[in-house]
Amino acid sequence: MEFSTEKIKPLAEELADIIGRELNEEGDIKERQIEEKIRKRLQELGQMTFGIVLSRADDVPEQEIPCECGGMLHYQRRRPAKVLSVFDWVEYKRSYYAGCTCGKGKAPLDEKLGLEPGQVTAGLAALLGMTGIELAFEYSGRWLEPFLLLAVSENTIRKETQQFGELQAERENKLIKQSQDIAYLQERLRTETDLPERMYGSIDGAQVRIEERNQDEKNTEKWREMKVGCWYTVEPVPNNHQTKRHRKKKTIGQQVLRAKGIRYFCDIAEVDEFEPLFQASACQEKVDLASEVVFVCDGAKWIWGLVERNFPHAVQIIDWYHAEERLENVARDVFTEDKAVPWLDDVLTALWYGDTHFVITACEKLASQSEIASQAFTYFRNNAHRMHYDRYRENGYMIGSGTVESGCKQIVTHRLKRSGAQWNLNGAILTAKARAAWLSGDWEILCALRDRLPLAI
């Protein structure tokens, strides 16, 4: 829908005259007051215009229309209704039908445009959801009011945000069913094009405090793990975008790479419940059709079990920085500072060049005097086949799992673990799913689902 500047110019001039007269009556004014006046009048204009447009969208009423129960509904009158929009509450009139034996009534215009009288419009819902995935519900309304020039309650923002999470959960359930459909998978093998060469996957977990009720109906708190995964490709970081940290990597022979096209998925669930989502999201991103799949993760057993069951031929890489941190902890626990530095240099150099046997032996020698060293010995022994860092660099692989760690921070730490945050299980999951969709660039897809039907007038 396009508007000619010339067509709306007279309206702008008339509005300017009205605001000018108001300002002259008030005397001494500031630039900010002028803006506020214009915004308020434009909101009022939008409020009236939206109501008129909705009312005009109503079809010429018929005397009777079919009811869902199989009976007939009879035209009653043009009945008013209100919806909460970006222009505040908007009133409109539409044809209303009733009189069926089932006792139900119907307004066809509401169904046609996806309107729910007394509720939030799809346009405002999108803005409330974007606010709710970013800010704590308790003060998001106060933050939003100066922008929208209307007050929206904490509960409304929570409801709309979590509705987007429900839409994302519905999308995921459909993808899960699709990924388990043999006929669909076979057809996909025959018809898919533009297959990826190398795809990366990373998985991690972060703890969320969940409020639950015990058998005595008393509130208790329990920490639950939010599992977060992501799919992505990588590209070299251009020289003009490289930071001091990037240049340091180059000096030790590491290619400077960054993730792109990142797609997140998440849930609070046991591994067997999380696995179908892992499979479906991989299917959606064509990971299973890629020429090569690379996983970069930490050493959690549940993660590698998931990888090995679903992608047994994938390249498995333990995140370099987790491995490095293990050795730093051993050095700090066992040695004085003057002896820790040379020991750490030796084991890190060996690890960097793929000599995991040297690292395992070095940790084993210290295992009897340090529990941390003993744990490191087990860690490196169990994951040695995922630590060929010399080969990984030769093949141009990314060796850090910062992509999924960033996802955990953005989804869990930034939103779910704010100071004073309290969540029930369902609220935490839905808010996280909505935020993951936003970070993945899928917000417009959810908005289209929230619209239900386009506003076609």
Given a cut of 60, is residue 455 above it in pLDDT? Answer: no
Query: Does residue 113 lie in a domain region?
Result: yes
Looking at the structure, tell me whether residues 184 and 293 fall in a common domain: yes
Backbone φ and ψ for 96, nearest 5 degrees, come out as: -125, 135
Helix (H, G, I), strand (E, B) or coil at 286: coil
Q: Which residue has the tokens 């057993």?
A: 301
Query: Does residue 151 lie in a domain region?
Result: no
In this structure, are residues 232 and 405 in contact, taking their beta carbons and an 8 Å threshold? no
**Domain's final residue, options 336, 352, 386:** 386
Helix (H, G, I), strand (E, B) or coil at 227: strand
Q: Which two tokens stand for residue 120?
A: 């939030």
Largest CA distance in the chain: 93
What is the rounded CA–CA span in Å between residue 453 and residue 438?
21
pLDDT class of 221 with cuts at 50, 70, 90 = confident
Q: Which residue has the tokens 């839409």?
A: 167
Looking at the structure, tell me whether residues 297 and 328 fall in a common domain: no
Looking at the structure, tell me whether residues 309 and 335 fall in a common domain: no
**Domain's final residue, options 69, 86, 119:** 119
Query: Does residue 371 lie in a domain region?
Result: yes
Edge-to-edge strand list for the sheet holding 257-267? 257-267, 219-236, 198-213, 292-297, 315-318
pLDDT class of 454 with cuts at 50, 70, 90 = very low
Q: Please tell me the pTM assigned to this model.
A: 0.90
Q: What is the tally of structural domains in the chain? A: 3
Helix (H, G, I), strand (E, B) or coil at 292: strand
Looking at the structure, tell me whether residues 185 and 295 fall in a common domain: yes
Looking at the structure, tell me whether residues 212 and 271 fall in a common domain: yes
In this structure, are residues 432 and 266 in contact, taking their beta carbons and an 8 Å threshold? yes
**Domain's final residue, options 100, 119, 138:** 119
Looking at the structure, tell me whether residues 303 and 329 fall in a common domain: no
- Please calculate the CA angle 347-351-356 and round it to the nearest 5 degrees: 95
For 37-57, write each residue's pLDDT tens digit. Answer: 899 999 999 999 999 999 999
Query: Does residue 20 lie in a domain region?
Result: yes
Looking at the structure, tell me whether residues 69 and 198 fall in a common domain: no
Query: Does residue 70 lie in a domain region?
Result: yes
For 55-78, write each residue's pLDDT tens digit. Answer: 999 988 999 999 999 999 999 999
Query: Does residue 168 lie in a domain region?
Result: no
In this structure, are residues 344 and 327 in contact, taking their beta carbons and an 8 Å threshold? yes
What is the rounded CA–CA span in Å between residue 65 and residue 95?
11
Which domain covers residue 200, as residue numbers? 177-319+400-446
Looking at the structure, tell me whether residues 374 and 361 fall in a common domain: yes
Query: Does residue 130 lie in a domain region?
Result: no
Query: Does residue 417 lie in a domain region?
Result: yes
In this structure, are residues 367 and 327 in contact, taking their beta carbons and an 8 Å threshold? no
Looking at the structure, tell me whether residues 58 and 203 fall in a common domain: no
Looking at the structure, tell me whether residues 299 and 333 fall in a common domain: no
